[in-house]
Amino acid sequence: MKSTLLFILICISGTHVFAQQISVSGKITDENNKPVPFASVYIKNTTKGVSANSEGVYQLQVATGTYDLQYKAVGYSQQSRHIELTSSEVINISLQTETYQLKAISIRAGGEDPAYAIIRKAIKKRKTYLNEVNAYTCDIYIKGLQKLLAAPKKFLIFDVQKTTNEAGLDSNRTGIVYLSESESKYSFIRPDKVHEVQVSSKVSGNNQAFSFNRASDMAVNFYENFETWDGLSNRPLVSPIADNALFYYNYKWMGISVENGETINKIQVSPKRAHDPCFEGYIYILEDSWRLSGLQLYITKKANINFVDTLKVNQQFYPVNNKAWMPANIKFEFTGGLLGFKVGGYYILMYKNYDLNPDFGKTNFAEVLHIDKGVNKDSVYWNQERPIPLTEEEKTDYRNKEKLAIKRQSKAYLDSLDKANNKIKLTDLLLTGMNTRNRYKKESYHYDGLLGSMLYNTIEGFAINYGASYSKMVDTVDHRYLVVNGKVRYGFSNHLLNGTAGVAIPIKRFTLNLTGGSDITDLNNQQPVSTLVNSLYTLFERQNYQKLYQKQFASASLSGRVTGGLQGSIYAEWANRRPLSNSTTYSFFSPQNHQFTSNNPLVPDQDVPLFPENQSFRVGLRGSYDFSNKYETYPSGRRYLPSKYPTIGINYVKGIKNVFGSDVDYDLLSFDVSKSAIDMGFYGKTSFFVGAGKFLNNNKLFYPDYKQFNGNQLLAYTPGINRFLLLDYYNFSTPDKYLEAHLEHNFMGFITNKIPIIRKFKLQEIININYLYTPTLKNYTELGFGLQYINIRAMYGISYNSGSKVNSAFRLGINF
């Protein structure tokens, strides 16, 4: 692959050297002498062309010869020029707004608009054109620009002025924040095989980075029934020619025009209901063939989209052969704002050199994207290859940020940044923690905040759990770090001093973790109660949910991707485990009927040890496979993509007796299968987790060795696919067999978007079902119902055991 790509680039370079290249350039304006942004310029009967920039300026590089040039933009009448080129020429073009003629059509009073008959024919042909081309290759140029249009000087404690100055923006905190160009070779096989090779890239402000532009990320096809744009919209967006489009859209026929011998119908589309996930604007449909020739669509906040206020989509098609029309270009333009920030920008893709009968040879479609280290090209290359001329603002941005990039690499500049940012602030010292960084050496230190390290529980009383860490980039290609960390924990009531230390060492695809010391840890190894939440409940509500024990230990683990979709880990741990008792009964408040329980969750009224002090030596193995053979190749290595199939996992834990004084003797074998965010179209997304296991041997084990479950007894909790809403944290852990199952469906606003006023909050409806079987618990089931806003959800849960109601409660889920 690399040698082939290098050969292609050498051939291209050679062509530029030996062929006499001249240019046709100029400006494209409308009848009012205003620029027509991103108008297209093509050589007739070819797919070779360029686009004007946002100011209407274009430049086409060709060899000497005779050409028929076509100038076109959606909504304007096409202009043609026959030229004989012996030297570079400037040709300015004025495009007239397209005039659409109305045919003499008799419409009865209350009759149907002619657009509906056209749309029905287009819908009938939708699948034909969706499946018209089975495979193709093409070259794609992508340009992306994002601008900060307005911003406050400060946002909370964040210094916006300082950050924008460092990023090269002006003193008003406005300017280009992202400017990038890329060229890709794109291959496609129906229905969903994609292989994209990024062959050139340029990123403003970073000569080493490759572009984040991805043709596959911006591929849209309005012959599909709907577009799923995750993040932008919680709901799929309905195509104006979807099978059920007549349920969602109103249509109005605006007339016809003739271009290159083709009759084109202009049809206005608008949502039947203002808040449906639908587009507005115009689509252009060819007479007789009833295929799309272009579209000008937009979607706004009315449709409950996220992050932006308005998104415009413009697309043009052209005939590649006598049979098929393919995308010529597509442009996304967006504006938005929040909390004083305003942003805007665009992405434009230009397609050329289509091959509809490709010979893929050894093309590896498991590799979705390929980016080599040498993908970055200099200005000389881009001045020759760029199909969209730069505006003066873009030229200035490239120039200034190139100088800034060189400056940023110097030790003096990096040291000056570190000197300014490494200053100790009181808020950092107390709350967020302190970070000191040496950018030149690629290393950093972190020290926890003092107040954030404070905690309270009935075992230790007030305690401090203070940590620090050090990280250093040891692999600049894969961006992998050596991390060393440690912490000290002291309880002011029980006077126990504990400390741990660890190191994470990257070894090729794997990470080796070594840890050891003494710690106070939760009896439930799922860590279901956060330290902060337990501290608040203990001090203010006089309820001590968290149960702890002391563990002195040494452990080692090795984990990483074995190959493809197979990941694995292996670990070994020796531990001395000692039960603990309450040492204080202090709380700020003492609500009636709230009494502290003992540190033994199975005997809450008696201060007796849950287990004797013991030693444990155990080894564990885990393997998981997600059936994903698709990956992206970057200069730093491969990144595997999520599979559309569930992930299966197998775990084995062996407690070994008489090794390093170990008292335990058990074998636990377990399996699990899970999948998150299964797309159900208009009806949202489904996630599930099923786990089952059995102790094959339980000759000798203690409570910390039991199979633990992720329960919840508090108002506030952290949502998770394998988490219960109402299950006790400790009482149902088992040394025997178990089966747990979790199902969650997110309707993504399918219901709430139909309710006036409420739809403005962009709420998502959540339903979940949780099930647990153990020999003692039998059939435990939970039903949960609620609403979610961003990462906060309110749930109401009801639990049953063997058909009898056990509990019901309100829960507040927070996930950041």
Domain assignment present for 412? no
pLDDT of residue 376: 87
For 64, the 3-state DSSP assignment is coil
Q: Are residues 473 and 612 in the same domain?
A: yes
Residue type, 363: T
Distance of CA 682 to the CA centre of its chain: 20
The pair of structure tokens assigned to 560 is 């990483």
Distance (Å, rounded) from C-alpha 589 to C-alpha 541? 6
Domain assignment present for 259? yes
Domain boundary among 407, 436, 464: 407
345 torsion bin: left (phi>0), alpha (psi -120 to 50), beta (else): left
Q: Nearest Cα to 704, choosing from 618, 586, 770, 804?
A: 618
pLDDT of residue 19: 42
Domain assignment present for 419? no
Distance (Å, rounded) from C-alpha 146 to C-alpha 346? 7
Domain assignment present for 519? yes
pTM, two decimals, is: 0.85
DSSP string across 456-516: EETTTEEEEEEEEEEEEEEETTTTEEEEEEEEEEEETTT--EEEEEEEEEEETTEEEEEEE
Residue type, 427: T
Domain assignment present for 772? yes
Residue type, 307: F
Q: Nearest Cα to 206, choosing from 340, 404, 31?
A: 404
Inter-CA distances, 567 with 332, 561, 624, Å: 38, 4, 5
Q: Are residues 566 and 701 in the same domain?
A: no
For 640, the 3-state DSSP assignment is strand
Residue type, 496: L
Q: Are residues 452 and 531 in the same domain?
A: yes
Q: Are residues 808 and 773 in the same domain?
A: yes
Q: Are residues 171 and 293 in the same domain?
A: yes
The pair of structure tokens assigned to 215 is 């043709």
Three-state SS letters, 737-773: CEEEEEEEEECCCCCHHHCCCHHHHCCEEEEEEEEEE
Domain assignment present for 442? no
Distance between first and last Cα of the chain? 41
The torsion defined by the Cα of 639, 640, 642 and 644, in degrees rounded to 10, comes to 150
For 281, the 3-state DSSP assignment is strand
Q: Are residues 214 and 327 in the same domain?
A: yes
Distance (Å, rounded) from C-alpha 136 to C-alpha 629? 22
Mean pLDDT by 10 residues, the chain (816 residues): 32 38 90 93 87 93 91 90 91 90 63 93 96 94 92 79 77 87 94 93 78 85 92 89 96 92 94 91 95 94 85 93 90 88 92 93 88 86 91 90 78 77 83 87 92 95 97 79 96 96 93 97 94 94 96 97 91 98 94 92 94 97 92 85 93 96 97 94 93 97 97 92 95 97 93 84 93 94 94 94 91 86
DSSP string across 249-309: EEEEEEEEEEETTEEEEEEEEEESSTTSSB-EEEEEEETTT--EEEEEEEEEGGGTBSS-S
Q: Are residues 635 and 693 in the same domain?
A: no
Domain assignment present for 436? no
Number of domains within the chain: 4
CB 646 within 8 A of CB 675: yes
pLDDT of residue 20: 56
Q: Are residues 399 and 466 in the same domain?
A: no
Structural domain for 259, as ranges? 115-407
pLDDT of residue 498: 97
Rg (CA), the chain: 32
Domain boundary among 62, 94, 126: 94
DSSP designation for 702 = -
The pair of structure tokens assigned to 355 is 């091959």
Q: Are residues 584 and 653 in the same domain?
A: yes
Distance (Å, rounded) from C-alpha 442 to C-alpha 59? 43
Q: Are residues 647 and 779 in the same domain?
A: no
Distance (Å, rounded) from C-alpha 473 to C-alpha 511? 14
Q: Are residues 137 and 73 in the same domain?
A: no
DSSP string across 223-242: TSSEE--TTTBSSPEEPTTS
Domain assignment present for 243? yes
Q: Is the peptide bond before 389 cis (omega within 30 degrees of 0)?
A: no
b/e 568-591 (16+ beta carbons within 10 angstroms → b): bbebbbbbbbbbbebbbeebeeee
Q: Are residues 480 and 625 in the same domain?
A: yes
Distance (Å, rounded) from C-alpha 689 to C-alpha 648? 10
